[in-house]
Every structure is written in structure tokens, then in C-alpha cells.
Amino acid sequence: MDENKLISAEQFGMPLREPQLMLGNEAVARGAWEAGVHVVSSYPGTPSTEITEAAAKYEEVDVQWAPNEKVAAEVAFGAAMAGARAMTCMKHVGVNVAADPIFTAAYTGVNGGLVICCADDPAMHSSQNEQDSRYYARAAHIPMLEPADSQECLDYTKLAFELSEELDTPVFLRLTTRISHARSIVKQGKRENIPVKTYRKDMMKYVMMPAMARKRHVHVEKRESFLSEAANQMPINEITMRDQEIGVITSGACYQYVRDALPNASTLKLGMVYPMPMKLIKQFAGQVKRLIVIEELEGLLEKDIRAAGIACEGKNLTGLQGELSVESIKHALLGTPMPVASGVDLPARPPVLCPGCPHRGVFYAVSKLGLRVMGDIGCYTLAALPPLSAMDACLCMGASIGMASGAERAQGKAFSKGTIAVLGDSTFLHSGIAPLIDAVYNRQSITVLILDNRITGMTGHQQNPASGLDIRNQPAPAVDIQKLCESCGVTRVSIVDPFDLKAVEKVLKEETERDEVSVIIARRACALLERSTTPPYVIDGCRNCGMCLKLACPAIERREKQVVINAALCIGCGMCAQVCPFKAIKEGVRAV
């Protein structure tokens, strides 16, 4: 929403009070702005997306969407090397993509401060795995801060920039869904005026050839032992003594759960989860009878604490999967029974493709033709669910094309005549180009279907290099996906309108038959972006054959002996009218 279009509270005689209620992600952006950040480069990914969106609202900051997290991290690194304060934000799996530059940036260090925000998704609300980014901090020898509410998101982001410049290292800011997507009260400050530092050529620091990198590695280890010692004095690692029976070491969202579940327990709250303040932990351990580590995902803190010879409990009580909660912590530590749901069996409500989604027509045709689908990451992954059930595999961003090539190598070329790789425009630009080149180069015969809806949909409509718009909705050069595929060596690239079901079916049949790599671009804007002006469709003379139900449209419902269209949901795409064998579905009349 455009904030400028809001009615300000002042107009109602009520001044906009400080403090404000902010999402953790918005507070990170605010903290970066207050720290004088100059450049933010990111790729969207739930739950990290709103950091960069919020940063784009500060006009002093140069903010951009990059095609993927690796590019984003490299742009941010380049900016920091050239003297700016820079930040890059991504979800946990995005760190996998960006890991290459990040690991070596730990060696080079920085000039201006460099902060890498990574948002983990315990319980996988919107992710394909539950990996714990804290391992990256250890593996790359990069310090990692973890805030526990929105105020800390702001404060720790500022601190992260200071640490980065003081210690000459990138700094991780680790978030989780319940911090990123929780709103809490934040006191805001002013923007610090940080000038961009002078750029100096420094081969020994920035050219990571073996001879130089060996010297830098020494610096990395020195920095880490210095910080491990300094961590014991950092105020963000804080002991609060209450009852001495139980002492809990925790961080982030878990700290909040612990405070509600065990209000009397003493706590050591870690604001920096790597490196750990081992002396402080020893001191705390000596003051409590029972030491418990409460952490989501891996038992990482617990293992290190044990390795330091300190007895503690942790994962034996809380487990390795999903999110923790006030209830689960009470259950684990106090034996309080877990509240149970009613036991009444209610139908599930999985997410679905929206009414009028252009992906629907494509997957309807794919499902009808019985094609195998090597899938990818985006809204269209939802086509895996019944009744479309049109997906065989989904691994990570851009994997569809490589998987199709690999499957062909295993099963032979005939296999590819019944298989397609499907991915969206943003996912293709993120990491689909190299596997497409691979397929052409290695003489595959796969068919690639690019669902081009002009936007990055699942994460909430972020512009991408093919959108023709930048993050601030200003006109930007648009990548021509057709020409791009052609220049990769694909000899036939077809364009089809996904609303035209017959055309989609025809092109799928033709292209899968071919003995070389072909690309089909199904092009139509996301239904949530370009609102249809067509009135809702109506059914008159339904014979209850159920053909339209195969579209899996949430607006089409079976009621007793006939099917009806829910006018509150239908946006008038008309795909159902195309599949009705009795021509009983027609455009309705616009309500006055």
C-alpha cells in the first residue's frame, strides 16, 4: 500500500505518536536506515521479503531487487568494498545460493559495513526445508546476532553495522518467521549521516588468490578469538537472575516463549549466537541448579556448551523439528499437558491457485495430457495438490530444468516426450538460465515451460528483471525471456496465452514431441495484479458432469446436484466456460 495515500492521523488532530508498531522486518529496515545504510540488494523470500520492501520506502537508500541471492550478496559486498554501508536480505535457503560470495567475504572483510540478514522458517510455513542458518555463521566464521522482538531488530541492525566496520567482517543478522512477521513496539531514532568511505585498491585484502587468502585466513581466526572473548562483555548477552532452580540459555523468539512459560526462571539471553560467550555461560551455569538450552531447530548452542564441559539439557526435552511455543516449553519442562484440539474432524484448507490464476489453465492441460512435471518454487508448486496433481518433483529454485535433463539421462529420450520442466519467470531468471544452457549444450530434448506472469508472485508481488519495473515501480529495462532463451541456443520458443486452453494443449503436444530442447512461454499477468473487469460467470443448465471441477478453481462449488459459481470469488477468467462440454457456463451480468 502506498503510505502517501493514507490519511495521516494528524488530520484527525492526533499526532503520530512515537513509538510505532512495526514488523520485525520493517524494524530491520528502519535500523539499517538509522545506521546510514547506502545500498540494499536482495532477492525476495518468505519470511525476509518485507525488509527490502520497507527499505525501499526510505528515499536516501539505493534499494534493488537482484535476480538471485548470490547476485544480491555480491552487489552488497561490492558496495561495502567500495566504502558504502550495505545490506543484503534473504530467506534461509537463499543463503545456500549466496554462500559462495559470503564465505570468501569473511576472508576479505569490508570497507563500509556489510550486514547479511537471513530469515529462517522453523515449521516451514512457506519453505521447502527447515535448515538452521546458525550453522552458516560457524562454517563461514561470521558473527551472528539474533534479535528477539522488533525493537531489537532495529537496535541489532545498527549494532551489526558497527561490528562489521570495527571488526572488518560481514555480520549476519538472523531472524525467524515469528520475529520477521511479528509486530511489536519500536522507538525510532534519526538517521546517522555516514559518508561513503574512500575506495582504495588493496590487492592483499580483496584479491583472494591462494597467497593472499592464506594471510586473510589468519586474520579471520584472530578476529574470531577476539570476538569470542569480547562476547562475554557484550550487553546483548544478558544474564537475568530470578529463581535459581532453572536457568535457561536461549535467544530470539524462544526467549519470549521462555519468559511466558517460565516467568521465574533465570535466563541468559544471547543476542549474539555466534561466537558464543563461553565464560559468561560458565558463570551462569554455576549460579543455577538445572541448566537448560531452549533453541529451535538444531541443538547447536547445546552441543557447543557441552563441548566446553558444561552439563546442560536441551534437545532431549524440546526436539529437533518445528517451532517451539509457550505450551510446548511448559510441557517439556513442567510436565503441563499439551492443550489438544477438539478431535472433531474438519476438512483441511490447503492453499490453492487463486481464482483467475493464469497457471491454472496450463496445469489443467498438463494434467489432461498426463505429463510428468519437474516442478519448481513459486505459486505454481500448488498445482502438485489434488485435483490438478500435476507435479512429480520440486527441490529448490531453478531445479526443474536440471531435473528434467537428469531424468532424460536416466530414462532415455522417449521419457522427455512425456515430461516437462515448469518454472516461473522470476525463478527462471533466478537460476534457470544455466541449466537451460546445460540442456542445449548436452543435447537434451526436454521441454521447458516458463510461466511468465510478469512478477514474483508467491512472496507477494516483487518486481523482477522481466517486469519492466524496479522495486520502486519505476520503469526499468525488461529482460526479453524469449530472446534470452534463443540466445542460449534454444531453436524453438513458443508463446501462448494460458487462458486459451486449446492452444496450451496443442503447443504442449507439439513441443514435447520434438527431439531437441524447446521452450514454451505461457504469458499472462498474475490475477492479483491485473484485476479482471469481466463480471463473474454463471452456470445455467448444469448437468453436473464435473468437468469444470477439474480446474480446481476455488470459485466453483458443487452444491447437491449441480455446480455453482461463487460470485464473491469469481473474477471472470472464463476458463470454466471453455471446459464445459454443454456450454452451460456463461459470462454473467455485472451487478449495479
Phi, psi of 442 (to 5 degrees): -95, 20
In angstroms, give the least distance from the CB of 46 to another protein. 3
Residue 28 or 227 with smaller CB distance to another protein: 28
In angstroms, give the least distance from the CB of 245 to another protein. 20
Q: What residues line the site for another protein (CB under 8 A)?
A: 1-2, 5-9, 11-12, 14, 16-17, 19-21, 23, 46-47, 49-50, 125-126, 149, 178-179, 181-185, 253, 256-257, 259-260, 325-327, 339-344, 346-354, 379, 382, 385-387, 458-460, 549, 552, 554, 556-558, 566, 568-569
CA distance 149 to 175: 10
Residue 219 or 331 with smaller CB distance to another protein: 331
CA distance 134 to 139: 9
In angstroms, give the least distance from the CB of 349 to another protein. 4
Residue 125 or 215 with smaller CB distance to another protein: 125
Residue 23 or 420 with smaller CB distance to another protein: 23
Residue 341 or 410 with smaller CB distance to another protein: 341
Residue 227 or 573 with smaller CB distance to another protein: 573
Residue 232 or 325 with smaller CB distance to another protein: 325
Q: Which residue has the cell 491485473?
A: 530
In angstroms, give the least distance from the CB of 318 to another protein. 15
Q: Which residue has the cell 594471510?
A: 215
In angstroms, give the least distance from the CB of 389 to another protein. 10
Q: How many CA atoms lie within 13 A of 232 on its CB side?
A: 11
DSSP state of 12: G
What residues are paired with 247 via a beta bridge? 266, 291
What residues are paired with 304 via a beta bridge? none
Residue 312 or 527 with smaller CB distance to another protein: 527
Residue among 161, 154, 63 nearest 113 (CA): 161
**Structural element, H or E, at residue 329:** helix 326-334
CA distance 348 to 46: 23
**Among positive and negative, which fits the CA dihedral 321, 327, 331, 332?**
positive
Q: Which residue has the cell 494528524?
A: 10
Q: How many CA atoms lie within 13 A of 550 on its CB side?
A: 18
Three-state DSSP class for residue 142: coil
Residue among 305, 308, 285 nearest 239 (CA): 285
Name 307's Cβ contacts closer than 8 Å, sequence gap at least 6: none
At 369, the amino acid letter reads: L
Residue 57 or 259 with smaller CB distance to another protein: 259
419 CA to centre of own chain:
28
